[in-house]
Chain A
């Protein structure tokens, strides 16, 4: 390599600035803005939820003057399109170009799994929305904290409610054929059967099935209820076709945390009335923080926030509270992780705290679709307080079992 004059000056300049200004640069970074990354989905089929995630987070920052613990917060948004590989690339961009110090997201499980080793290697503080069970169970990531719910965390109380309050004895489950659907149905099945019920049929249509007609024709109608574990728009599409076949009113329908989200409800009509679902959030949750959140969100966007909007709003509150405790020093990652797993925060979903694996312990709400002020809402009819990802099982015993899946726990009561 030739070493001309220009190159020499560049090299000398770089060395000089590094040595002379190095320490002040670090000090300046400490008092500079906190760089917050949001990994979401703004294009493709998952965009509806992803856009809500951004809107709610922006709202939180606006309400708090874009300041947390006395430091300004700068937001950088990455769009993964719901494609795991792209999610990984965008995350790298957020970390290496935008120098984010903490990430909220990603939205979907597959993207979270694809980013797992990168999060570890970069020691990137992560407040996640994705529901994959094992990320806070058998393969915990030390930088990963989840303020929403594992796949089954909200389904397990619903199973309890079905068995004990609704006195259902026989049920069937139907969910998307993806890990999220498997895990949710497995948790539901385990709790329901432990409470004396029987799951007599389990169906898993492909995620992108064009028509549910064939599955609906297979449904056993001699059951007390059907559990829907769908995500995105699939619950909505399934239920419309369910009606078409004249099954509404014949068999009761209950749903998981994403099946009849507020985002879906606003496009539904009276056919949804009376459906019971469970989730860690509802726009109807009664507390001052949520009231303000919902009111402001409605003013800006004209509809009720649901699962995804609440997710980033809650994560932002967790971030804010943690930063207050450590006086805004987000650079001290160890202190951040220690603190975030020890605090209790009041959020829009109610009080939350975290277990030692980084997963949330908080309320899960049983909700019923009702009409209020002319629109459909998920009215809270019962609250299960402080629900852990292990439900009422002992952690050690829970973790000894394989992760929830299509085949575990085995379904012993299937009828053909």
Chain B
């Protein structure tokens, strides 16, 4: 019983972390039709930048905010100066983002070195939470809470604000949105900044669990892809449900069939793409 409780909490915590990563990816993909392969790199860069910020600002949450802002600006620059020039050229954009991800990886290697760098868990959260003989890392529960709060905030942004309405319009029908005078170009930059910032902040918040290390980008990107494909491109609800679904599938899959870790992870994505190409909650096909 204890085992199942821990694994359930595990799956929720992993789902929360995945949501921070995948929400931005989903928005960017949905609005701009760009499979942004730098997303994993933005996450990793966030983790590394967070490590540096923490040297000056010994507060993880503040570091996540500052780091997220730094990565958001970086993302905005990529969008403005590189991806903008390739508008409509999907293959070119995929290749460019892939190229940037390699450059970021080597940049991180030069600046922060090849050894894994730990991110300290805030002191108050270091002790595992013990309830009736079950010990569970407190920090993971906090990550879960942050993810839920972020999800609610994003939901309000998308459903209750003007800019959210514009983004939804853009996702649903780009040309019509342009025609009715929505400044799609500014919207693109804003969404890209938002997505990049979320990924960067996620890297820092995930830091105490995963550390910052070379290869973190490649470990995270496929997870973001799976979540978004499963949940549906451009759908916040899809990213949310997809994250926790993948968190659960992954956790219980590897617990029950440890040898098939990757099969378990990718099989649901393949099945969904084969039988429901728009994903669980997407309104358009991929």
Partners in one complex: yes
> What residues of chain A have their CB less than 8 Å away from a CB belonging to chain B?
43-51, 177, 203-206, 208-211, 213-215, 217-218, 233, 236-237, 240-241, 244-246, 263-264, 266-269
Complex: chain A residue closest to B213, CB-CB: A233
Q: How far is the CA of A226 from the CA of B128 in the complex (A)?
A: 20
Chain B interface mostly helix, strand, loop or mixed? helix
11 CB-based A-B contacts, threshold 8 Å:
A43-B106, A45-B214, A177-B261, A203-B258, A205-B261, A211-B14, A213-B209, A218-B3, A237-B211, A244-B121, A264-B116
- Flag if A208 contacts B215 (CB, 8 Å): yes
Knowing A217-B255, A237-B210, the reply to whether A246 touches B135 (Cβ < 8 A) is yes
B173 on interface, CB distance cutoff 8 Å: no
Nearest CB of A to B83, in Å: 25
- Flag if B255 contacts A47 (CB, 8 Å): no
Q: How far is the CA of A246 from the CA of B130 in the complex (A)?
A: 9
The 5 closest A-B pairs by CB, nearest first: A48-B114, A45-B215, A233-B116, A246-B128, A244-B137
- Among B14, B105, B223, the residue within 8 A (CB) of A213 is B14
Q: How far is the CA of A44 from the CA of B254 in the complex (A)?
A: 27
B93 on interface, CB distance cutoff 8 Å: no
Complex: chain A residue closest to B125, CB-CB: A244
- Flag if A214 contacts B115 (CB, 8 Å): no
Stretch from B5-13, B61-69, B186-194 that touches the partner: B5-13
Q: How far is the CA of A206 from the CA of B263 in the complex (A)?
A: 11
Nearest CB of B to A213, in Å: 4
Complex: chain A residue closest to B11, CB-CB: A214
Contacts of B135 in A (CB 8 A): 245-246
Q: In residues 248-268 of chain B, which contact A (Cβ within 8 Å)?
A: 250-251, 254-255, 258-259, 261-262
Question: Which residue of A47, A49, A204 has the most chain B CB atoms within 10 A of its CB atom?
Answer: A47
Knowing A213-B140, A244-B209, A245-B137, the reply to whether A233 touches B115 (Cβ < 8 A) is yes
Q: How far is the CA of A50 from the CA of B115 in the complex (A)?
A: 11
Q: How far is the CA of A48 from the CA of B140 in the complex (A)?
A: 29
Q: How far is the CA of A254 from the CA of B213 in the complex (A)?
A: 23
Q: Mark B4-25, 1 if CB is under 8 A from A, else 0.
A: 0011001101100100000000
Question: Which residue of A49, A50, A213, A237 has the most chain B CB atoms within 10 A of its CB atom?
Answer: A213
Q: How far is the CA of A203 from the CA of B254 in the complex (A)?
A: 10
